[in-house]
Amino acid sequence: LILSSLLYVDIFYCYESNLINAPLPCYSKNTFCLLIIDVSALVMSVLLPILFMIIFGVMTVLNIRRSKRRVRPVPVFIIGNNAIQYKIPLIGKQYTHHNTIQKKKTDGQLFKMLSIQVILLTLFTLPLILEKIYSICIRPQKSPIETAIDTIIYNIALLLNYLTNGMPFYIYTLFGE
């Protein structure tokens, strides 16, 4: 909570409402604030999520592989009458071969889902990254047509960025078993 408050402290100074010719109702009031807001939005809402998703996704897949090596179920065959039962472990080629194939299949699915999610997140946020870089480097005086085109491009890039919020559901549904 404190970290989030510190990261967004610039909002109180930099934003102003009801600006004319601004792409959003609440927008930055000067160029320096626009630069700070664009860079912080680029880092916090685009680059950090992609980086964290890659790091924690790879760590999760590696941890699942490691935990599967530590814990292995042992199938047993129970013989005897109701009073005395003996558990004899069944260790054979077929069980270990089937188990290895199942592990590889599950690991492959997890890696495929992680890769697809990172690739789609990157593709859907790339237009917003490019638009932010463009808005940082653009000249301040533009014609009304250029402003309208910039607003349309910004809104499309923002819409694509919003699509990433619902994307994990479809990835897990389509690629999970």
For 20-49, give one letter per residue: b (16+ CB within 10 A) or e: eeebeeebbeeeebbeebbeeebeeebeee
* pLDDT score, position 39: 81
* pLDDT score, position 91: 53
Q: Is residue 58 part of a domain?
A: yes
Determine the structural domain holding residue 51 and report its residue range. Answer: 31-175
* pLDDT score, position 143: 84
* pLDDT score, position 19: 76
Instruction: Give the count of domains, the chain.
Output: 1
Q: Is residue 18 part of a domain?
A: no
* pLDDT score, position 71: 55
Q: Is residue 90 part of a domain?
A: yes
Q: Is residue 24 part of a domain?
A: no
Which parts of the chain register pLDDT below 50? 93-95
Angle between helix axes 31-42 and 93-137 (nearest 10 degrees) is 170
Q: Is residue 11 part of a domain?
A: no
* pLDDT score, position 55: 92
Report yes or no on whether pTM surpasses 0.85. Answer: no
* pLDDT score, position 25: 74
* pLDDT score, position 144: 86
Q: Is residue 1 part of a domain?
A: no
